[in-house]
Structure 1
Amino acid sequence: MLRALDIRDMLIIDRLELGFQPGLNVLTGETGAGKSILLDSLGFVLGWRGRAELVRQGAEQGEVVAEFLLPEAHPAHAVLAEAGLPGGAELILRRVNTVDGRKTAWVNDRRCSGEVLRQLSETLVELHGQHDDRGLLNPRGHRLLLDAYADHDDMIAATRAAWGDMSRARKTVAATEAALDEIRAEEEFLRHAVSELDALDPQPGEEAELDVLRRTMQGAEKIRGDVARAFDLLGSDGAEGAMGDALRWLEGVADRAGGQLEEPLAALSRAMIELGEAQGGVEACLNGLEFDPSELERIEERLFAIRALARKHSVAPDDLAGHADTLRTRLAALDAGDADLEAQRTALKTSEATYDAAAAALSEARRSSAGALDAAVMAELAPLKMERAVFETKITDADAGPDGRDAVAFTVATNPGAPSGPLNKIASGGELSRFLLALKVCLSGDDSGRTMIFDEIDRGVGGATADAVGRRLAALAQGGQVLVVTHSPQVAAKAAYHWRVQKQVSEGQTLSTVVQLSPDERVDEIARMVSGDTITEEARAAARALLTG
């Protein structure tokens, strides 16, 4: 509910503080007094797009503050939480417009964007008028209005769940088909590559081992010649023989050398032992350097084959075995993919059938509810002197979506047999106002949390019809809040709270003010609306009759 509106330096308003109440609130005044400026100012603080020049001439900036009371379950709480803004039972919106066009907004003293204001406004205020394209005249919202009227929440939830399941199943099938198509495109390559890798069977570390063997065998011939010559020099015809002869000669004369040869003999004995170990090692090396030339050829062929496959698959030689496992896995996926795809297609058919059933049930319920809504609106049109008009909720096929596959549009025909069409294309100003009011009365079940504003919705009607309009506006205001800008005395008389918008000239400036009327002042204002500028006693009597009627 809108509790207060504070306007400063906007258009022809210098300072205005208004306090609104639950129920039916009306604003009256002569044409041009500034009633539309109040709506412009409220729309500004709510983030609506409107006039470009709003700052009062001579002021540096204009400012509007709107205070709302929020029940505990009000949808504005969710918007505040999503935007990270402070909440509570009170919601204070403040927006400033500087003379150079810059706009700044606050929600509960926290800076916010105009988009957040607009999201909040959708939950706070509902504006209805002949030129409003955000409310009942917008065909894009007619399906939502019909569903809200008929309480289709459970069926819509079931349809959305089925749509979600079907969409996920379609994505799964598409992804599997794409993956299988990709694998099939390279199936021949995969099978050849796996066969080639299996035939070679490369092992981790094998390439390095083969490279060492190859290098060793390539240089073995030269190495073996040098080692063999060294072995010969160490043998009996070389160092071993010479050292043996020296040892025997020294041993033969040692007992006559007075002990001087004991240490040399010991050293020679040790040298003979070391020499023997050297001979054994060199001999082992010679034996190891012996190789079959065909073995070198085999090693080179395998080494080159491993390296060629590694280059072909752009992997390291040691990773060939793991790469082969990866290719085998892809082939296995191809072999098993057809079975998986068939199962996924079966699941998709099931989800499509579930969605079809849910969407069909929702369509049937909408068609049934459309008839009930049409009958309810027609019943409201009769007291509004439009008993010959025809209101029809048309449902046509639309592309399937999460909310079913129906397009809903409210159409009217002003006379039987006349062609029907959209509300704002067929009805005249007064007729459109009454259509909108009748429709709103039928659709107002869940609007207690919103402030409904009707901008001259009674234009073009009078007498008993205007009285019927006023009664329906009063009924809409029960348990909620309705603000009406009106020129109709019959509508003004039904208000619980009455404000008069008036202009006055102060120091050469025209300013607009708003005053709340006392009971006596209401009589005079309604009398003015009945008779014009000259208020007669007859007009006052008529005003009192309207107020008590």
Structure 2
Amino acid sequence: MLIIDRLELDFRPGLNVLTGETGAGKSILLDSLGFVLGWRGRAELVRAGAAQGEVIAVFDLASDHAAWDVMRDAGLPVDGELILRRVNTADGRKTGWVNDRRVSGEVLRRLSDTLVELHGQHDDKGLLDPKGHRAILDEYAVAGPAQEAVRLAWRKVGAARKDLAQAREALEKVRAEEDFLRHAVAELEALSPEPGEEAVLDTRRRQMQAAEKIRADIAQASSALGYEGAEGAMSGALRWLEGASEKADGRLDSPIEALVRAMAELDEAARGVADCLDALDFNPSELEDTEERLFALRGLARKHQVAADDLASLTEELGARLAALDAGEAQIGALEAAVKDAEISYTDAAKSLTELRQKAAVRLDKGVASELEPLKMGRAVFQTEVAEAPDGPEGRDAVTFRVATNPGAPAGALNKIASGGELSRFLLALKVALHEEAGQGVTMIFDEIDRGVGGATADAVGRRLKALADAGQVLVVTHSPQVAALGAHHWRVAKRVEEGMTLSEVVPLDADERETELARMLSGDTVTDAARAAARALLAG
């Protein structure tokens, strides 16, 4: 990577310091770390003449570290070690891996948010980004349960508003056809159609129409079969034959028996014809009524473009829509009440979250103020502003960190008001104040955060960095011997020329080497005995 040929660093828990001359390559180290974490920074990091550059970062994490959740969300295997690897080829292509699974830069950046925090004059994430101030304050306030209550209440408000909007839309659609519905329902209910009625009416109509044509013939046949006709003639013949049979020596017995059978058949035929006449007997007005209803059914079916048998279900459907219209206002009222109740619940939850944030803001401001005094900024003012914002799932507060460097001066955004040295100390004071209640497990990197300060102020900066590192891991790039002397682990970054090529090397320092490096930082290129004595004093604490 640029002036790095091959380099392996084993940063340890506690305060890790990197020192060296300006231009030795300390920034390149941070660029390399940012590269493997997916940060957007320097476009090209490949050393001249090399085909590619590669950076590997290994993290030893607790089982409950937030990075594992990111891994699971990304579908990556979760085991005891997290290994990030990213390659930058000479033509600019970048490829990343997590535990040997290829990933996008976005996944690397999501992981980096749980792994590393970078703080310095050019910090444009975390503490200097106003977009993240509310989340920082919420984490400091341990506002998780209150946040979840607000989010739940906001979802209920959204659902209630959606139901109300849908009901209003449906009601407006029904209102647009109210006149039609009322007329159609009245017309259908007056007719009161029933399923299958058309077929019954059509059959009855055909029967009555046919009856008019055949009834006279059947009546005439009935008369011919009756007593005035065949029945009377056969009855007379039977009496005459029976009177003569005694003198006919049995010759009339068979004819008489045949005639009796014939009269029985005739009687059956006469009864059948009579039954038929009864069936064909109808009131002439019945045919008219039947035809009138049949035509009414078919006319309504054509009007509504449905089958006649579907008129009954159409009556129910249109009746239900009309009932919805009539009940619509009551329903709208109930839904409006539900929205109001949901909004009241949201307001209560948001108010509780606001109060929690406001109390935490007071504590945070006091915490930062207590840290500014030893950093020689006792006259400066840090203010966590909790202002009203539009309602949303995160509440109704906008949170901004503001500072005023001198009494009476107007407060402004942290990264716009403070000078370079002031900004570094503000960031450090804020980070220390946040650290007690903020989440653990993140490696913090401070890039020349002590720039522009020295003496007792630099010592105060170093002691606060050391306090931060006591519970985790802190990396500091520093030019301050007071800060470097407080490190638990010390590396020197230097440049060397090999075969005409400038390379950067990073060397871990033992106790004697640390003394020499601190003396160099105190006196410059020529290390004096006084500088060594001062270095020993710093290391002794």
TM-score by length of 1: 0.83
Q: Deviations over 1:162-185 (max 9, x none)?
A: 333333333333333333333333
3-state SS in 1 of match to 2:175: helix
Aligned residue number for residue 447 of structure 2:
455
Aligned with 1:355 (options 324, 346, 353): 346
| Equivalent residue runs for 1:10-409 within 5 Å | 10-211=1-202, 298-409=289-400
Distance in 2, Cα, partners of 1:230 & 1:66: 115
Per the alignment, do residues 282 and 491 of structure 1 end up closer, same or farther by CA in structure 2, a change over 3 Å counting? farther
Per the alignment, do residues 273 and 404 of structure 1 end up closer, same or farther by CA in structure 2, a change over 3 Å counting? same
Per the alignment, do residues 431 and 291 of structure 1 end up closer, same or farther by CA in structure 2, a change over 3 Å counting? same
Cα contact 2:519–2:532 (8 A) shared by 1? yes
Cα contact 1:165–1:351 (8 A) shared by 2? yes
Cα deviation for residue 532 of structure 1 reads 2.1
Per the alignment, do residues 465 and 222 of structure 1 end up closer, same or farther by CA in structure 2, a change over 3 Å counting? same
Per the alignment, do residues 308 and 454 of structure 1 end up closer, same or farther by CA in structure 2, a change over 3 Å counting? farther
Per the alignment, do residues 230 and 360 of structure 1 end up closer, same or farther by CA in structure 2, a change over 3 Å counting? same
Cα contact 1:143–1:409 (8 A) shared by 2? yes
Per the alignment, do residues 282 and 508 of structure 1 end up closer, same or farther by CA in structure 2, a change over 3 Å counting? farther
Distance in 1, Cα, partners of 2:499 & 2:214: 119
3-state SS in 1 of match to 2:533: helix
Cα contact 1:447–1:480 (8 A) shared by 2? no
- Percent of aligned pairs with the same residue? 68
Cα deviation for residue 139 of structure 1 reads 0.9
RMSD (Å), alpha carbons: 4.0
Aligned residue number for residue 246 of structure 1:
none
Unaligned runs of 5+ in 1: 1-9, 232-269
3-state SS in 1 of match to 2:387: strand
Distance in 1, Cα, partners of 2:152 & 2:403: 34
Aligned residue number for residue 422 of structure 1:
413
Distance in 2, Cα, partners of 1:109 & 1:281: 99
What amino acid is the match of 1:514? Answer: V
Aligned with 1:489 (options 478, 481, 506): 481
Per the alignment, do residues 304 and 133 of structure 1 end up closer, same or farther by CA in structure 2, a change over 3 Å counting? farther
Per the alignment, do residues 447 and 363 of structure 1 end up closer, same or farther by CA in structure 2, a change over 3 Å counting? closer
Per the alignment, do residues 143 and 300 of structure 1 end up closer, same or farther by CA in structure 2, a change over 3 Å counting? same
What amino acid is the match of 2:163? Answer: T
Cα deviation for residue 143 of structure 1 reads 1.8
Per the alignment, do residues 309 and 98 of structure 1 end up closer, same or farther by CA in structure 2, a change over 3 Å counting? farther
Distance in 2, Cα, partners of 1:512 & 1:215: 110
Q: Deviations over 1:57-108 (max 9, x none)?
A: 3333322221112212211122122222111331111222333333322222
Aligned with 2:540 (options 537, 544, 548): 548
3-state SS in 2 of match to 1:384: coil
Per the alignment, do residues 336 and 35 of structure 1 end up closer, same or farther by CA in structure 2, a change over 3 Å counting? same
Per the alignment, do residues 200 and 548 of structure 1 end up closer, same or farther by CA in structure 2, a change over 3 Å counting? same
Aligned residue number for residue 226 of structure 2:
none
3-state SS in 2 of match to 1:180: helix
Cα deviation for residue 226 of structure 1 reads 12
Q: Deviations over 1:206-260 (max 9, x none)?
A: 23444555667778888999999999xxxxxxxxxxxxxxxxxxxxxxxxxxxxx
Aligned residue number for residue 492 of structure 2:
500
